[in-house]
Amino acid sequence: MSVVSEASQTDVLEYIITHIFCPVQLPQHNDYTLDNDRSLLDVALGSARKFVRSLPNHDQEQWSPLLKMLENLAVAMTSPSLTVDVIESQIKSMQVGDILAYLIREQNAAVVLRRFDTKTIFESFEVSPSVFAVMEAKGKLLCSYPGPAIAVSNLVVDNPTFPPELANFLSHMSCDASDSVAFQGETADPCYITQLLTDILRAFGEPADIPRIRKRICDDALQSNATLLWRRSPIWLVVRVVLQTSLERTSLGRNSYKAFMASLMTDLVSKALEGDISSDLLYSMSIKISRRLVKLQVEDEFLAFSLSRLSSTQ
């Protein structure tokens, strides 16, 4: 029984490492399960908590809404589809500065809510590029995040009818998938979220002028005698996009995001050294971390933190 348990733990760890590091050798079949994605999110949340504890108090305060966002996202992912009661409760509980993020996997989209003093901004974006775009790309895809953004007055958001209606819509969208699209391995069109939901919200608000980021996305579409293609985990993209877009809107800036990513990857190296992970995969992980550290400026205080974390694992 313990052998099976250890093998299962190794498989989950390999899933997490594969989707976070995106090594050269990737699976040739769809490896998604809800438990695997939950485990990936749990690792990201655990590393974020550890990272934040090492920061000055002022920086911890700016990270606090992001930790809360990850915790709420983990709660929302306890079931295959979004639960109305959970989503409604989270929306009603939002305070100024809070952020909520939801992956609507069946619609290939994510929704992000940001609460401000007088308004709430709703952002959405596609979470998996089309197979055609991935296969046609020479190298990584250059994508802009988030997509459309609508600002709605908190007077509307706090109306007793708004949270349950929005929660019901998101829950319904997370259950409604196209079997033909899934069978063919192509990603769903996110239009029900990025267009329909955006148009509904626009009736209550107005387009929001927000800063956007551009990311070089590493993804692939691989298949070998299997019905479904391997695609990189959408939940991992959601986590990265929300963290980076949020941190770049604070005084911490992009370097805080980069330092956290290096710290998270270092945590995974430690877990890999304790587990039964191949030397080839360990080598690929070390190369990825080295590249990330090089991107950070030597004089930045976050670099010193990341380097000390890396050296402590050797």
pLDDT the model gives residue 31 = 87
Question: Looking at per-residue confidence, does 232 or 114 come out higher?
Answer: 114
Q: What would the 3-class secondary structure string for 93-140 be?
A: CCCCCCEEEEEEHHHCEEEEEEECCCEEEEEEEECCCCHHHHHHCCCC
* Overall pTM surpassing 0.85 (yes/no): yes
pLDDT band with cut points at 50, 70 and 90 for residue 142:
confident
Q: What residues contact residue 119 under an 8 Å CB cut-off, 6+ apart?
A: 151, 152, 153, 154, 205
On average, the pLDDT of the chain sits at 87
The answer to whether the beta carbons of residues 95 and 162 sit under 8 Å apart is no
The DSSP 8-state label assigned to residue 194 in this structure reads I
- Mean pLDDT of all residues in 15-32: 87
What is the per-residue pLDDT across 73-87, written as a single tens digit (0 to 9) for each?
999 999 999 999 999
Nearest to 123 by CA among 83, 150, 163: 150
pLDDT the model gives residue 224 = 66
* Residue 251: pLDDT over 70: yes
pLDDT the model gives residue 307 = 53
What is the per-residue pLDDT across 79-119, written as a single tens digit (0 to 9) for each?
999 999 999 999 999 999 999 999 999 999 999 999 999 99
